[in-house]
Amino acid sequence: MGLMTSDEYRRSLDDGRQVWLGGKRVANVATHPAFQPMVDAVARIYDMHFDPETRDLMTFALPDGTRGSRFYKIPESVEDLRQRRLMTGAVLDRVSPTIDRFGDETVTPLFVIRDRAELLRGYDPRYAETGRYWLDKLQRSNLFMSSGNTDPKGDRSRQPSEQHDPDLYLRVVRETDAGIVIRGAKFETGAAYAHVAFVKPTVGNWSEANRDYAVSCIVKLNAPGVRHICRMPLGGGHDGAPVMERPLTRRFDEIDSLVVFDDVLVPWQDVVFSRQPELARMMRSEFSRWSAQGFLIRSRAKADLLVGAALLASEQAGTIAFPAVRSAISQLMAFTSTIEAFLLASEAAPETSVSGYVMPNQAIQNAGRIYCTQNHHHMVQILVNIAGGQAVMLPDQAMFDSPETGADVRKYFATGRASAEQRLRVLHLVQDLTASGYAGRMRAYQLFAETPLAAQESALFETFDRKAATERAQAVIDQAAQAAAHPVAA
């Protein structure tokens, strides 16, 4: 099997998967109006693997001379890190700067599994083989791997094993000669139009009582017992506002799902580990080693879009010459440039993993995650202030097209610097970035998709060079003490 084409991707989704939307089963997600826009977006990413302009960036040479998807190549050099940054950036440039789930980031926990092969082999040789098998399979086929990370969790004051229903966290029901049987659910983005999900263990207290919940595996998203309970599309449904009114919502709504695993059999070749609390604890702490790079690249693209929207809105309104507006836009530019600095610095000062692979600098990368999470919503507010209240008082496409109202719309929304249509398109983009359901979801995603802020801060605490900082402070104290003990004569 060679790399999948966009046509093959579309056809592959008609595979009997159980996808439910609005209480009805979806016959084919590739052609359903709620999913087709994102299927088309992902299909463009598949096209990039064959486009002469992007082929070398999106693919790499495998040992047998064929091409593999760079999404699924574990970095072995600083150049590999750079290529991953450029590759993800190219997808965001060519498809959309606001999409998040398209495979390059969700595979990165599998890099950790491959890196930790010797450790996993000590628990069960099959675990180590899973990492090797799946990276090779993904590189050669370019299947779309999504993730399965967040459990419903029920009463969060209780441990997984203490819930009133044991299935509120995904768990192993039993192990068989054929594989493991899992039951539970995970919230996930884009699973309805992906091929497989990397199911991660939850975050919890890894005591003996929670052993059944210490599981990680790769699950085919059309497997028997897998059901996708999808949220409704943002903006009121798939027959909602035209693209002019919702330029992001209508084209790039990454449908989120509650993916139910109803006694799903996972073959041993797809099991990363099963009923191993020690592995769950360790792997959860390491899973972001490569994924945070993707988060920073996405955050930078979103930040740059905020800058662009602010420039367009202020240029059309004639406010770009105002010092206060330029100051506000400069804050957006500083935010964007700072994210870029975190990316480049973490790449320029890389670390070596246990098995000799190359990782971005972990402390710098983790600091960047915190910076993005803490500041994104403040930057959105700056765009709101620049654009003003008009962005939430816009006429719709029907009013613009109406013979009775169109003339008024064209008259009063023109600025002299821009036609009413140009002005409305910019302001509708601002609204979709700041005041729509899409905007609200994007802010929530920025806050929680890369783990909550407290977990990010914990990761920084663990990866920062505390020893060097302590020694520096102690050296100053010791030097002061020595100076006091041996004063210099006047």
- The answer to whether the beta carbons of residues 264 and 254 sit under 8 Å apart is no
Average pLDDT over residues 117-121: 96
Residue 450 banded pLDDT, cuts 50, 70, 90: confident
**359-388 pLDDT, tens per residue?**
999 999 999 999 999 999 999 999 999 999
- The answer to whether the beta carbons of residues 93 and 53 sit under 8 Å apart is no
Contacts of 42 (CB under 8 A, 6+ apart): 9, 102, 144, 193
pLDDT at 266: 98
pLDDT at 240: 57
**216-228 pLDDT, tens per residue?**
999 999 999 999 9
Residue 202 banded pLDDT, cuts 50, 70, 90: confident
Residue 242 banded pLDDT, cuts 50, 70, 90: confident
pLDDT at 152: 95
pLDDT at 115: 96
- How far is it, in rounded angstroms, from Cα 439 to Cα 443? 6
- How far is it, in rounded angstroms, from Cα 190 to Cα 276? 28
Closest CA to 57 of 45, 46, 44, 70: 70
pLDDT at 282: 87
pLDDT at 241: 62
- How far is it, in rounded angstroms, from Cα 487 to Cα 490? 9
Tokens 């509708």: give the residue.
Answer: 428
**153-188 pLDDT, tens per residue?**
999 999 999 999 999 999 999 999 999 999 999 999
Tokens at 83, concatenated: 């290529």
Residue 293, pLDDT > 90, answer yes
Contacts of 249 (CB under 8 A, 6+ apart): 233, 234, 235, 240, 241, 432, 436, 437, 438
Buried b / exposed e over 381-412, threshold 16 CB at 10 Å, is ebbbebbeeebeebbeeeebeeeeeeeebeee
What structural domains and CATH numbers belong to the chain? 6-285 (2.40.110.10), 287-469 (1.20.140.10)
Residue 203, pLDDT > 70, answer no
Residue 339 banded pLDDT, cuts 50, 70, 90: very high
Facing residues of 359 across strands? 351
- How far is it, in rounded angstroms, from Cα 346 to Cα 81? 10
Neighbouring CB atoms inside 10 A of 252's CB total 20
Facing residues of 266 across strands? 180
